[in-house]
Amino acid sequence: MLSIERAGMCQAIPAQVVRLDGEIAWIEQNGRDVPISLIGLGEVNVGDYVYHHAGLGLERLEPDLAKEILSVLEEMDSILSGTDEP
């Protein structure tokens, strides 16, 4: 499970939209649904990936790019937590 908090930094991370309610998107993050604002982001659909930070959707991402970013972040998390396997 990705835990950017362990790194002691704040950063925007990708997440997949699982539900929409007007200008609010519900994203899946660490096994739970979290609401974020889509104000000013443009068209977003269920299944899309978005960069988000502090409850605000920042940018819609192509699925391949989002998955690549998530993979790198998970690798960083693994290294920081000491569970890295060579």
For residue 8, the model assigns a pLDDT of: 54
Q: Are 4 and 12 in contact (CB under 8 A)?
A: no
Encoded tokens for 52: 């988000």
Rounded to two decimals, the pTM is 0.78
Q: What is the DSSP secondary structure assignment for residue 85, as one 8-state letter?
A: -
Encoded tokens for 16: 């997949």
The domains of the chain, with CATH numbers, are: 12-79 (2.30.30.140)
Beta bridge mates, 56: 37, 53
Q: What is the DSSP secondary structure assignment for residue 86, as one 8-state letter?
A: -
**Residues 2-38: pLDDT tens digits?**
554 544 556 788 999 999 999 999 998 888 999 999 9
For residue 74, the model assigns a pLDDT of: 86
For residue 68, the model assigns a pLDDT of: 94
**Residues 34-85: pLDDT tens digits?**
999 999 898 999 999 999 999 999 999 999 999 999 899 888 888 887 766 5
For residue 58, the model assigns a pLDDT of: 94
